[in-house]
Amino acid sequence: MTSAPRIEIAEHAGVCYGVERALAMAADAATSAPAPVHTLGPLIHNPLVVDELEQAGVGLADTLDDAASGSVIIRAHGVIPQVIEQARDRGLTVIDATCPYVKRVHHAAERLVADGYQLIVVGESGHPEVEGIMGHADDRACVVSAPCDLDAIEIEKRVGVVVQTTQTQEALADIVSALLARADEVRVINTICSATQERQKAASELASRADVMIVVGGKNSGNTRRLAQICTERCAATHHIEDASEIEATWFAGAELIGITAGASTPSAHIERAVNAICDLTGAVHAR
Ligand code: SF4
């Protein structure tokens, strides 16, 4: 008789400090801030959480024009400073849930620009966090996601570097080493957030032992997608799900160890639902 598979959750998985803080601020705003309360853009990259907030009375405004009165919540990714100014000018109450670690990137970018460095932002062009960082820089700043992106840029003698919080150390190291070959001075302020690294390291470790890996989180969440990519490289049977209802029993045939991880925008209740669904479908045991 084959024994039931075991479920193990990665040592670091799920909601991070900044997201937890933003969710708590939104929950608080739903009952105490001037109504109507809107988040400016989805509070986090997780459609299920956005729906849950809507039910709690926190709506979604794509732009400031969609929030004519009441309060707006700035998400953990942050925004360009002009957005906060405009919201205040329009008489809206601003609840700034920008993660303090993202604020640290803003301050680092401002400092490097003020000190005369040409700013390079290592990150994903067009990502809201990166847009916010660029809003704290000047018009010489450039976004770079790989060393080849530097080919199109006229590099100055003194270059300052900051990093989107969810980037990897490897991506940063590759770009810095390419810059060192072209600039006289490269000043790096490493603004990668440890929550991301911890989740990636723990996911990698678990995926290298597991027969099947389940990655829980928004399909539009960059950090969750990166976890899924890391897991797939170590465990071919990796499935990225947003909701427990997507889980299929056939995924686990013959599996002894089922690993679970989740992005920094995935609340613990969503992980719990995935664990329960796997237990129901397979008779798996969750060793806590
Ligand atoms: S991943 Fe890090 S920087 Fe991003 S919201 Fe979470 S704690 Fe803040």
pLDDT tens for 215-235 read: 999 998 888 999 999 999 999
Question: Which protein residue's CA is at the shortest distance from atom 5 of ligand 1?
Answer: 18
Instruction: Specify whether 246 is catalytic.
Output: no
Question: What percent of the chain clears pLDDT 70, i.e. is strictly above it?
Answer: 99
Does the pLDDT at position 197 exceed 70?
Answer: yes
Average pLDDT in the chain: 94
Q: pLDDT band at 288, cuts 50/70/90?
A: low
To test the pocket of ligand 1, the residue of 43, 101, 124 to mutate (highest count of ligand atoms within 8 Å of its CB) is: 101
Mean pLDDT of 53-71: 94
Domains of the chain from N-terminus onward: 6-14+195-286 (3.40.1010.20), 17-98 (3.40.50.11270), 101-192 (3.40.1010.20)
- pLDDT category at 2 given cuts 50, 70, 90 is low
Categorise residue 57: left if φ over 0, alpha if ψ from -120 to 50, beta otherwise: left
* Ligand 1 mutation pick, 163, 164, 196, 198, max ligand atoms within 8 A of CB: 196
Lowest-confidence segment of 5-9, 11-15, 167-171, 203-207 by average pLDDT:
167-171
Give me the catalytic one of 52, 129, 198, 272. Answer: 129
**Whether residue 23 has its Cβ less than 6 Å from ligand 1:** no
Residue whose CA is at the smallest distance from ligand 1 atom 3: 101
The residues, any chain, with a CB within 8 Å of residue 13's CB and separated by 6 or more, are 199, 202, 203, 260, 261, 262, 266, 271
| pLDDT beyond 80 at 287 | no
Give the pLDDT mean for 109-119.
97
